[in-house]
A and B are shown apart, each in its own frame.
Chain A
Amino acid sequence: MNTLTRRKLIRTGLAATAGATGFVVATKLAERYGLIPPDSGGIYGPGETLTYAAQRVWTRHSLAREFSPSQISTRPFANEVDALGNEFQHLQQAGFADWRLAVEGMVAHPASFSLAELRSFPRRSHITMIQCEEGWSYIAEWTGVQLSHILGLVGALPEVRYVVYRSIQPDWWESIDMADALHPQTLVTYGMNGAELPVPFGGPLRMRVPRQLGYKSVKYITRLTVTDNVKQFGKGLGSASPEGGYAWYAGI
């Protein structure tokens, strides 16, 4: 019954060749269309790549769900952060008047913005959910300036592919691709629920990426680096999260 016939052998050979060719072609296409995440190596690379590629094919321009003011959580939860250092406390004592957001990398005009300057830019608000990878969530109104507006101001070069952003907290940095960086709901946030962004929630300045989990919304941001290659940062996995064992892409 299980005799190996010539026909079977030819059929299996053709199927294997077609499969291998298909895989190579798919990989080339995925690379060309930016569907490979920076943490695509390792044993969890295949799943991570499938997730990121599928999300980028289906959700490149989709908008995160927005909610009505009545749905804003009355008791939002601020997750724990490492103790804020001396530098932060000095800035806080001065009312964050000297807080600056530096923008550098592959831009025509590197710049550094004060909070007052950021507040003078076109203001955007949205009522969106922030979801932690742990499982909890809350809804709040977030106010700030679109990251795309800042990228326009500094003249990000056409070939850029990622924006790296850093917290004043050491070793806390993330990056997002241009689909999220240029997304209209991605805000450099300084306000929450109609007031200044409280410190436990990331004040004075927090990156809000509403289509991804909370850990991509880094608190206390001070520096943006625009780049075409995220491999040159840290261990080359895209952000601090994969270095700590967490996925780079957190839109899941």
Chain B
Amino acid sequence: MKLRRYRLHQWRATVKTLQMAETLRPRHSLLVRATHWLITIAFLALLVTGLEIVVSHPRFYWGETGSVNTPPLFKIPVPSSRKMVPTGYGYVLPDENGWSRYLHFQSAWVLVLTGLLYAGVGFFNGHFRRNLLPTLYEVSPKRLAISIAQHLRFERPGAEEAWSYNVLQRLAYLVVIFVLSPMIIWTGLAMSPSFVSAFPAAVNILGGQQSARTLHFFLTGAVVLFLLVHVFMVFLAGFRNRMRAMITGRADPVERV
């Protein structure tokens, strides 16, 4: 009896120490915070300049080639910055492609280099394994269904999530980091005539240069969808707390279990 009480006391002490350690540990490491915001800035610049470039030819094709002389796969119903493109609008937007292209590629460099640093360190220090990889238990159909239901009801996340990610969140982040980002970089490079002269398979696998352009556009759409949901969830979970955690690293200790 005495021994049991002693053990219970020991266990409580250990838990308390762990809790204290966690309060001292930042919610997000400095590297995660810095790369998160650098990539945010780079992505927004890529998005704005990318849309600006699209406006000079808001038509999409499949295969190797396409121009106003060939039927498009689809068109975006916006005015164009080139008068040779028939859009149905009676006016032509100003040409902003010069700086848009310069900024697009400069931002792409920021995104790629920051992403490589994040991914490299993340593999090395166990960030992905510890914080993003869901457990087998979490990805069981039953647990997934519960999590999906919670999301569909727009339930405010529980206090435990201030210090962790739920399973859908983990899966969404992993898809963005390891599927969408590499694909968007790949399809971007596949549009470069010089890059594909050295690595022709990069564009041939995709079915052609215009296919790469169309895929680049859809992948951007997927990332924008993620961004909208991500920002919505930050508001749902508590904008101030989540922003503070991603800027200063501190999370509200009151929220701790």
Contacts and interface: CB of A to CB of B under 8 A. Distances in A.
| Max chain B C-beta neighbours (<10 A), residue from A48, A67, A212, A245 | A245
Interface in B175-216: 191-198, 200, 203-204, 209-210, 213
B218 interface: no
A217 B70 CA distance: 22
B33 interface: no
Interface string B93-118: 00001110111011111000000000
Contacts of B194: 55, 59, 62, 211-212, 251-252
Nearest to B68: A77
A157 interface: no
Given A51-B109, A71-B64, A139-B64, A76 B102 contact: no
Counting chain B residues whose Cβ lies within 8 A of the other chain, the interface size class is: 35 or more
A62 B200 CA distance: 10
A131 B57 CA distance: 12
B82 interface: yes
Given A137-B210, A246-B98, A252 B69 contact: no
B66 interface: yes
A136 B68 CA distance: 8
A9 interface: no
A246 B67 contact: no
Contacts of B143: none
B159 to A, nearest CB: 23
A97 to B, nearest CB: 31
Nearest to A80: B84
A50 interface: yes
B192 A252 contact: yes
Contact of B97 (A55, A129, A134, A138): A134
Interface in A43-91: 44, 46-48, 50-51, 55, 58-59, 62-65, 67, 71, 73, 75-77, 79-80
A244 interface: yes
Interface of A: 1, 44, 46-48, 50-51, 55, 58-59, 62-65, 67, 71, 73, 75-77, 79-80, 129, 131-139, 210-213, 244-247, 251-252
Interface of B: 24, 53-54, 56-57, 59, 64-70, 82-84, 97-99, 101-103, 105-109, 191-198, 200, 203-204, 209-210, 213
Which 10 residue pairs across A and B have the least CB separation, nearest first?
Answer: A47-B106, A245-B98, A251-B194, A44-B102, A135-B57, A77-B67, A136-B67, A62-B198, A75-B69, A62-B197
